[in-house]
């Protein structure tokens, strides 16, 4: 699909025969980029206009945070090796890239009813004797991620309006909440073609306040939540704040044509889902939209509030791992 064509709304999607309902595999059967295709050179160049001061803000947590990791993921381990004692050293890492600030790749989460990952990638493509590198993170790494970031600071809005989120339950941030946050930031949360401020290819970033709250707790207090048993379903012991699973939210996330979405929460969406689907299924598998999680948004949020400007240039260099499932975020905001 060329950049000058009108993109279909969620309600206008007409998948090909054999493709799952609501799938938007519109960039060809060999595509591995999904909505990163929206980050055209023209849009990336236009996104540079969001830079005013040139100040850079790293949005990645230290690799050993959050601690302990959520969802039973591996603890980061750092080893230093002496090459020439006192004069030269190497180091090695042992880690799960999803234990810290991350991007979920297309191999991370399938559409449950069909079993397909993005663009008809299957579990057999990911593991087993016939595994391929289809839709591995190397496809993103080969081009990088860049575009205009837009921050919706729910945490700041909640504090100003005496809203008390429960960070360790599936506290739902609704579409209506995001509209109110945007209004407080003087943003029209509609696509530009409808007269709003959302541009095709924008990267939506939502600050829930999760990481700020986590950093205020002791290791023992966090462990009571982070180490709960993980299983899919409403009884999952892993419970976190995030955006709600709803028709309004799905329409918003799809129809705005964000090239990626991200937040400071462990799963971006409220976890576990209380619906019969997860937004991960829609965003990753059906629409090809990368999901960033556990980003450090505190400094960025403060700077945006000071400037009263909530847009910025965002760039990320995914880890170049053939067949990779996910990647550390390696993300930078330039304001």
pLDDT tens-digit series, residues 233-280 = 999 999 999 999 999 999 999 999 999 999 999 999 999 999 999 999
Q: 308 lies in a domain?
A: yes
Q: How confident is the model at residue 4 (pLDDT cuts 50, 70, 90)?
A: very low
Q: 134 lies in a domain?
A: yes
Q: 17 lies in a domain?
A: no
Q: 59 lies in a domain?
A: yes
Q: How confident is the model at residue 6 (pLDDT cuts 50, 70, 90)?
A: confident
Residue pair 129/326 in contact by the 8 Å Cβ criterion: no
Nearest to 264 by CA among 193, 180, 333, 163: 333
Nearest to 32 by CA among 104, 124, 103, 107: 107
Average pLDDT, integer, range 320-325: 98
Query: Residue 5: what pLDDT?
Result: 55
What is the C-alpha separation between 114 and 27, in angstroms, rounded? 20
> What is the share, in percent, of the chain residues with pLDDT greater than 70?
99
What is the C-alpha separation between 225 and 68, in angstroms, rounded? 9
The number of distinct structural domains making up the chain is: 1
Q: 18 lies in a domain?
A: no
Q: How far is CA 49 from CA 85, 151, 186, 334, in A?
A: 49, 16, 19, 11
Query: Residue 2: what pLDDT?
Result: 39
Query: Residue 1: what pLDDT?
Result: 40
User: Is 333's pLDDT higher than 90?
Assistant: yes
Q: 21 lies in a domain?
A: no
pLDDT tens-digit series, residues 169-206 = 999 999 999 999 999 999 999 999 899 999 999 999 99
What's the N-to-C CA distance of the chain in angstroms?
Answer: 31
Q: 14 lies in a domain?
A: no
Q: What is the CATH number of the domain that holds 137?
A: 3.50.30.50
Q: 238 lies in a domain?
A: yes
Q: pTM for the full model?
A: 0.97
Helix (H, G, I), strand (E, B) or coil at 151: strand
Q: Which domain holds residue 68?
A: 26-73+100-334
User: Is 3's pLDDT higher than 60?
Assistant: no
Strand partners, 79: 92
Query: Residue 10: what pLDDT?
Result: 97
């Amino acid at each position: 699909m060329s950049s000058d064509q009108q993109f279909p709304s969620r309600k206008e999607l007409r998948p090909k025969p054999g493709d799952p309902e609501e799938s938007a595999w519109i960039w060809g059967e060999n595509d591995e980029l999904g909505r990163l295709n929206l980050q055209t050179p023209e849009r990336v160049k236009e996104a540079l206009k969001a830079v005013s001061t040139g100040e850079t803000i790293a949005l990645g947590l230290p690799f050993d945070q959050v601690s302990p990791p959520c969802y039973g993921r591996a603890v980061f381990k750092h080893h230093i090796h002496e090459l020439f004692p006192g004069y030269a050293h190497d180091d090695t890492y042992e880690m799960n890239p999803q234990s810290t600030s991350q991007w979920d790749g297309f191999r991370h989460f399938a559409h449950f009813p069909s079993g397909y990952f993005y663009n008809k990638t299957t579990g057999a493509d990911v593991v087993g004797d016939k595994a391929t590198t289809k839709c591995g993170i190397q496809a993103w790494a080969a081009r990088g991620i860049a575009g205009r970031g837009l921050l919706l600071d729910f945490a700041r809005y909640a504090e100003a309006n005496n809203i008390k989120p429960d960070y360790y339950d599936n506290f739902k941030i609704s579409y209506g909440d995001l509209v109110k946050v945007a209004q407080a930031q003087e943003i029209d949360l509609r696509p530009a073609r409808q007269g709003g401020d959302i541009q095709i290819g924008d990267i939506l970033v939502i600050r829930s306040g999760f990481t700020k709250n986590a950093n205020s707790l002791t290791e023992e207090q966090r462990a009571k939540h982070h180490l709960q048993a993980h299983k899919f379903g409403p009884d999952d012991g892993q419970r976190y704040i995030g955006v709600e699973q709803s028709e309004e939210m799905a329409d918003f996330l799809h129809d705005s044509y964000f090239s990626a979405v991200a937040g400071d929460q462990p799963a971006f969406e409220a976890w576990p889902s209380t619906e019969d689907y997860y937004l991960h299924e829609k965003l990753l598998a059906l629409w090809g939209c990368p999901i960033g999680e556990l980003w450090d948004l505190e400094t960025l949020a403060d700077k945006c509030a000071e400037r009263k400007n909530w847009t910025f240039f965002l760039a990320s260099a995914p880890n170049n791992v053939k067949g990779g499932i996910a990647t550390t975020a390696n993300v930078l905001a330039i304001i």
